[in-house]
Amino acid sequence: MPIRAILLPTPDQPTLSNPDADGHPVRQNFGDTEGSLRIATRESPLALWQAHHVADLLAAQSIGSQIVPMVSSGDIDMRPIDGKRSVGVFTKRIQQALLDDEGDLAVHSMKDLPTEAHPDLQMIATPQRETVVDCLVSPGGGPLDSLPAGARIGTGSRRRAAQLLRVRPDLQILPIRGNVQTRLQKMHDGEYDAIVLAAAGLQRLQMNDLRRVELPLEMMLPAPGQGALAIEVRRNDQRAIDAVSQLNDACAAACTLAERTLLSQLHGGCLAPIAAHATVTSNSDSSQLRLIARVLSVDGTECLESAAECPIKLEWGQWQTVAIELGRQISSGLIERGARALIESGR
């Protein structure tokens, strides 16, 4: 199977972003554009897609932007990420770009963004969320139970590894690094029998023909914030705050806030074996915010799970308080049942 490559334009070249409503490509320029917002991003294909997506959302609000790509330490250092070097490995470089005035806003995959905020930065918007599910990708494209005993599965996530081992303890879970294209190439080179990837990334890269099976949420809950983007700005940059706040989706923001509050209260970090998924369901009379969370041992033999829901009004100014309280409620219950001991045992 050919692996797609996305080439970076030179600084003076325009690049094509997502098509508009009529199917026409939207052009962004990498050169200086007076008055436009500078979008700091990693330069992986997926990160660039995310930056261009935000540029298109800004353009829909008649706000100009330019892309400022840069390399993070996580893109260079291909050692397996463990509990000692996981926090912020993909986000610190573009956060520093804001602090150094190299950019006006940073676009992150929310699941990579540390829950502890930088005092000079503010996450100001969460656009509409993509699917949260994970996919099993293999040359044959079959489900998990079709893999042979002892199959080698590539993933860099302890959350994914623990949930896989919970249902298939015979599997060999092996670390894997690199962008989506690199991981796929490693699998096709025979290093792995299958790999696990987020469905959102595959959709964003338009890998529609890639053989894969979505893992059901009953088996594989997502990481807190999975499928969502986080847009961060300087706290004192009112111009960027006013522009970017127009991109916020209240439903996505409420759900991810509940998930990230839970993660923060558990002191888990982005690679701990913690899974969470919040949803909002509505009828003509009311809306309910529901959160389900799972904390596992690294080998998947122990699993704590909890769920709860509460009323929420997304148009009401205090929905943030509701989401935070729900995240705290679930985390407190899990802590009482021994969640922190499970998390610490895997560090």
Torsion of CA 160, 163, 169, 172, to 10 degrees: 0
Task: Name the amino acid, one letter, at 343.
Answer: I
Place of tokens 């030179």: 10
- The end-to-end CA distance of the chain, in Å, is 37
Q: Annotated catalytic, 112?
A: yes
Number of residues written out for the chain: 347
- 278 touches 246 (CB < 8 A): no
Q: Dihedral sign for Cα 59, 63, 66, 67, please.
A: negative
How many angstroms separate the CA atoms of 340 and 264, rounded?
12
The one catalytic residue among 75, 112, 193, 237: 112
How many angstroms separate the CA atoms of 243 and 247, rounded?
8
Count Cα atoms within 13 angstroms, Cβ side, for 170: 8
Burial, 279: exposed, middle or buried (Cβ in 10 Å; 0-12, 13-18, 19+)?
middle
Q: Report CA Rg, the chain.
A: 20
Instruction: Show the 3-state SS of 258-301.
Output: HHHHHHHHHCCCCCCCEEEEEEEEECCCCEEEEEEEEEECCCCC
Q: Which residues are catalytic?
A: 112
